[in-house]
Structure 1
Amino acid sequence: MEHTILYLGILAAPFLSPDYEGRTTPPEPRLCRDLTEASDRLSVHAYLFTAEDYDHAAGTLHGWRWQNGEWIRRPVPLPDIVYDRTFFQAKRDRLRCEAALSAIHARKAHRRMNGSLPSKPVVYDRLAEDTRLVRHTPPTVRYAPERLEPFLASHGGSAIIKPAAGMQGRGVILIRQALWDDMLTVKGRTRGNRPFERILPNLTELSARLSRFMGDSPFLIQPYLHLRDSEGRPYDIRALIQKDGDGKWRITGTAARIGRSGSLTSNLHGGGEVMDSFTQLSANFGKPMAERLLHEIHTISGHTANRLEHSFGRFGELAMDFGIEPDGSIWLLEVNSKPGREAFRQTGPNTVYAMSIERPIRYARYLKDRLSPTFTASESAYDLFQPQR
């Protein structure tokens, strides 16, 4: 089958400062390199670019290609499909990026491969509206000082507080109320991802400290769920669901992420490790139950992807983190529209990681071919993408 020419722009946050050898590196260097190399194999012309690489006055774009062991910057055509891999802390950086994309779109229309999710409270609310998903969605309320005491009273004296827009386990706090007095044990990770533990005398002191900790950022309150394995380690199951070359949702793979004993989260950035999901679940539930749990996780993932796409527009991939209690109850903890691949790269088999890289490229081809007539062009027209001699 003949295809139209496809220029895939992988949108990245600003590149990191040059290293001691003067080499420039993008965020997510391994993923970006693997995406561009896989694109070459699939006859897709892919490059990285940032908002700063677009010249608004000239309407031209520079992109980055991995060549001869380094990232080379050179002029590139405007993209047909944009694969957004940006992560911003500051609102002004996000607005600058959106302005660049709007200006590029005005010059040449493009499609975004993946939409973006709103804040966690909105996502939880949408999922809880679905009768198939509500029993897997943890009860969630937006944090306010006056809401914490009744929440603790109705959930056994414990609760989890986490950022509404957090990631990597940063800023997650476990609160446990003593049975015999007003004392509270507070344990978690700072927003700089450092572990801490405190004992506080009462809710008044806790509220004051939480106010300083949170600043102006919104936080959520959820029940504390017992999501630990037989060795007392926190763990979750990461499921990656992606669209394939036919535009259909497919489960690419699952992996178990296991935290250190005594840790609050299983996130890899907090020192966790990765294991095959079936192996981890079999060790805790036995093989028949592990098979049933994974089958249910696959089903929930499909329902969740469809629900979110119906609510918030097109997505090309989503990662979902599931917690499993000792009685087999499955909880959907997080949904991420810009998933990493590190868990799948570490746990193998290599075919799963390779598929996680190739599926976005094949889906980009699907989006492009749906919109454009098929024609064949001379390869010499694309020498921008050939290695420099």
Structure 2
Amino acid sequence: MAFIKYALPLLAAAQAVFAADCGDGDTIRIRSQSDLDKYNTCETLEGDVELDKGLVDAVTINGVQRIKGALTSNGADNITQLSAPSLETIDKTFHLQGLTRLTALDFPEINSVGELDFEAIPILQSLGFTKGITNAGGVSIVNTGLTSLDGISLNSVGRFIITDNTALETVDVNNLKNATNLINFAGNYKDLEISLPNLASGTNLTIRNVSTVSVPSLEKLEGQLGFWGNTFSSLSAPNLTEAGDLVFEDNARLSNISLPALETVNGGFLITRNDELNSIVFPKLATVTGAIDFSGAFDKASLPALKNVRGGFNMQSTGNFSCETFNSWKDNTIHGTYKCEAETDNPTTSDGSSGSSTSSGGSGSDGSDDEDDAAVLTTANVPVMAAAAIFGMLFQYVL
């Protein structure tokens, strides 16, 4: 009994020392590989791990399976390789920024991170996540040398931001079914191909500068679905029934939009400057809570199920479509300012912007300042962005 009386306090003290060696919840700052080697016997590190910008060459986190915090490196531009052979989980953010000489990541066991946030890693070509990340609250990959997103195998995600990765040729996130925040692709490789075969629902999906988009399972978006400056010729979402603001703008080769199940647009619906688009047909569209604003070079416009447009209606084209049906709706179905004009030399959007890149432009459709005639983007559906981005969107789309 006497042995136990003295042994237990000694054991507790030893455990306390061991725990302290693996962190105590404060930030663990790593200034050299030898600093990291002190934690080789730790399966779990308590607290954030910060890699100092003075680290050089290959950096390896040995033995550690879990970091109960973030793993961050800012401006360590002399790190060439970063590896963690046993690391499975980073509870908070895995953040790398300004690692301009990093050529290789090797995290073969990692499968869960709080957030994945990579920025300004220009020569990194692959992620090195062999097992694949299946759990992440959000993903942001900006200005890297990645050629694919192999190693990201999420079922659900918050935000998913993929921008300015000029070597990124393919995005194939097969397992992704739901996104609770913005999905945004912009400024990547000019012929980027995007495949989201199982994405069924989300909040906002914005696509810029891509050559192929596949969303065959998409059924509902709570916020905006927007396509700007893309090079694909056809867009098909056969199961989409409902979206917030819906935008097709400056897609120079777009000749076909197939949304056969679309019934409701909870916001504004803008189609403009898609000069190869000859036919606009939405057979089941019944309700648009904002404005309809279609302009271009189309010869056919058909909305046979339309029952309620709570905003304005602007339809102008250089083509020879018929306004007859729409004219009969302007006192009942359409509740805002109305204009329909075929075979016009200068089709315009409701805010007076040119509606066709081949036309000579115009100064406005009817001179009205009625807010119902604008509202292609409603503030309720604008995703959270930097103030400058919000200003730019409002300037472009709202009167």
TM-score of Structure 1 vs Structure 2, range by shorter chain: under 0.3
The structure with more helix, counted as a fraction of residues: 1
The structure with more strand, counted as a fraction of residues: 2
Return the structure number with greater relative CO, CA threshold 8 A, min gap 6: 1
TM-score, length of structure 2 as denominator length = 0.21
TM-score, length of structure 1 as denominator length = 0.22
